[in-house]
Amino acid sequence: MASHRMGRTTEDIRRELTAVFRELKDPRVAEAMISIVRVEVSNDLSVCKVYVSAMEGCDRAKEAVKGLKSAAGYIRREIGSRLKLRHVPSMTFEATDSIEYSANISRMLNELDIKGDEQDDDSEAE
């Protein structure tokens, strides 16, 4: 029962973080195409660790994290006003390269698919 409540709370925080990120005016955050990869909330709701990734790569995600860290107080206040939580967790932000990594894997798979199609066409021509 408690794990279901924690999962629901984590998803609520993730949804509201997405909305708050859209409203931020810091150019390090607003100009980057960032995505929330994962949200981890401690059992006592004291700490929330947010993993973000950027389409432009890990360096861009690190710049966005700097902007998010400077706006952490504002983000926490907004989460507290949007969600009815007894205790709003403190926010920590981490940069990951998961979007860049998955895009690279997708590109490599597409290249393999194209090479596979060319080999199939050659064998059918003979």
Contacts of 41 (CB under 8 A, 6+ apart): 6, 9, 10, 13, 47, 48, 49, 89
At 1 the pLDDT is: 44
Domain ranges for the chain, please list them: 2-125
Q: How far is Cα of residue 49 from the mean position of the Cα atoms in its chain? A: 11
What share of the chain in percent tops pLDDT 70?
87
CATH T-level topology, domain 2-125: GMP Synthetase; Chain A, domain 3 (3.30.300)
Measured distance CA(16)–CA(14) in Å, rounded: 6
Q: What is the pTM of this model?
A: 0.76
Higher-pLDDT residue of 120, 113: 113
